[in-house]
Amino acid sequence: EDEISRSSHSNPGKSLVNGIKTNPASNSPKSSLPVPMGPPVYVDLAYIPNHCSGKNTDPEFFKRVRASYYVVSGNDAANGEPSRAVLDALLEGKSQWGENLQVTLIPTHDTEVTREWYQQTHEKQQELNIMVLASSSTVVMQDESFPACKIEF
């Protein structure tokens, strides 16, 4: 606490976060702290942050977080969720993987943005080995019917 306090007094407008000086006046979430370079992370399932809003997700996310399945949960057009820019960022990021791993995009809602993106970029999706599940698909097993894209944690 003393180090943070001294730093704030000797450098007005600056503070320490995890030992790194930052400028709290910067309100851009993408520029608040430098992200250290490192190898990509491979996961089975990744939830696209902030309901697929462009506020926090860019091509760098998809270059570094390489998932077999990405969940798109945005359903608020007024807030830009899901964001067309984020869906395009998936294409850009995946194109730089250097390996043609299968990726499945799981939208949890049927939105105009995802439908238009799917139709307009379908050829690029095929080229990059990206499959998009239909959010309105259902699975029927025995006497039960349920959404095919239902994900619970």
Q: Does some domain include residue 47?
A: yes
Q: Does some domain include residue 103?
A: yes
Beta strand segments in the chain, E? 15-17, 20-22, 41-47, 65-72, 103-107, 130-132, 138-141, 144-147
Q: Taking a C-beta distance cutoff of 8 angstroms, is the pair 139, 146 a contact?
A: yes
Q: Does some domain include residue 26?
A: no
Start-to-end C-alpha separation, the chain? 37
Q: Does some domain include residue 76?
A: yes
Please count the structural domains in the chain: 1
* Cα gap 61→108, rounded to integer Å: 20
**Is the preceding omega at residue 34 within 30 degrees of 0, hence cis?**
no
Q: Does some domain include residue 34?
A: no
Q: Does some domain include residue 27?
A: no
C-alpha distance from residue 140 to each of 82, 126, 146 (Å): 28, 28, 7
Q: Does some domain include residue 56?
A: yes
pLDDT in tens, the chain (153 residues): 444 444 444 444 444 443 444 444 444 444 455 666 789 999 999 998 876 777 778 899 999 999 999 988 877 777 767 889 999 999 999 999 988 899 999 888 888 898 999 999 999 999 999 999 876 666 677 888 766 555 555
Residue 55 structural domain: 41-147
The model's pTM is 0.66
